Amino acid sequence: MTSSEEPARPGAAAGPQDTRGASLQPLEYDEPALQLLLGPTWDETLMTGYRWMILGRTLDQRMLGLQRQGRVGFYGPATGQEAVSVGAALASGPPDWVFPGLREQLLALARGHALETYVHHLFADNVDPARGRQMPCHPTARDVHYVSMSSVVGTQITHAVGVAYGQKLRKDPGATLAFFGDGATSANDFHAGLNFAGVLALPVVFCLVNNQWAISVPVEHQTHVAVLADKARAYGIPGARVDGTDLVAVIAATRDALARARGGGGPTLLEFVVFRMAAHSSSDDPKRYQPKEFQEKARERDPVERLEGLLKRLGRLDDAGVATLAADADARVRMAIQTAEAAPQPVPDSLTTDVFSSVAPTPR
């Protein structure tokens, strides 16, 4: 993690950095550094994180395949961004609220939302809590304080700030996490949200996931700021750039920002630098606008492979363990898909369920 406001934490961005802020080298933490950053159960934390990241990667692969077969209407993969969602889940607690961008569904799962419920949502069946009335990848998970995203860029920022204001007024023990992409930093709600939160010292952590692309627009074409975290200065709040392909760095940075927010210290802007390793969504073709070398650079910073390499080097994982965890994740995803595909479709009358207190008879 680097910041103009605060010194970098030990090991928070291991290896040499490129100009975009994501490490080019394997994770090089040793056990004392991990104990300092993650506590005495660091190995359990990292293994839990790895399991969730493998599940997220497996879910992306399977669901994209099903979308291409016409069995799912839409899908927005989070491949390459798993460490941010899982790290935030491991750093946050039950009282905290999450306002996602497009790719934080894995965060809801790692916070305790059932995989089966999420897959029912993707299939828009009658077991889906929304009964198919919301786009796939836009779930609401009240059980884990995860608010449904909006496809409108940046609107969740001001929504999150509103909840954080309520938390402060009610002396709620939690804080709010607001996720958004690099493109949203050029939206009106970014300015309004950060300004309001800064003035009122609200308990909110702004999680800017910079995956280098606002759909097809590269980050350098929509803002002239080289380090997006530096935008925090305009609002008088701390800003830090974090290697979002490094699970350890994500957990440490998010945990510290949440502690500051809960303790009355106000908001923080965290810029998580990642590389989008897939299309923006199943409706997108990145070959039409991405340079050929971009995906090669993205694969060099694969967060799953980086964490896997660290766990192997520290003796907590081997090839057999990797294969077992991958098989377990695949079995879980396949079972959830099988259950969802066997569920009935919503009946037409459900269209107004939970929408109106009473429905007028249909004219004949």
Residues with a catalytic annotation lie at 276, 280, 289
* Integer Cα distance of 335 and 329 in angstroms: 10
Contact (CB, 8 A) for 208 and 228: yes
Q: Are strands 213-214 and 217-218 parallel, antiparallel or unpaired?
A: antiparallel
Which residue, among 160, 186, 161, has the nearest Cα to 100 in the 3D structure? 160
The single residue listed with the structure tokens 């010194």 is 7
Q: What angle do CA 153, 157, 159 make, to 5 degrees?
A: 110
Rg value, the chain, Cα: 20
Burial class (CB in 10 A: 0-12, 13-18, 19+), 348: exposed
Contact (CB, 8 A) for 123 and 340: yes
The single residue listed with the structure tokens 């802020």 is 21
DSSP string, 290-304: S-TTHHHHHHHT-HH
CB neighbour list of residue 225: distance below 8 Å, 6 or more residues apart: 231
Number of residues assigned to the chain: 364
Residue 240 backbone dihedrals phi, psi, to 5 degrees:
-140, 140
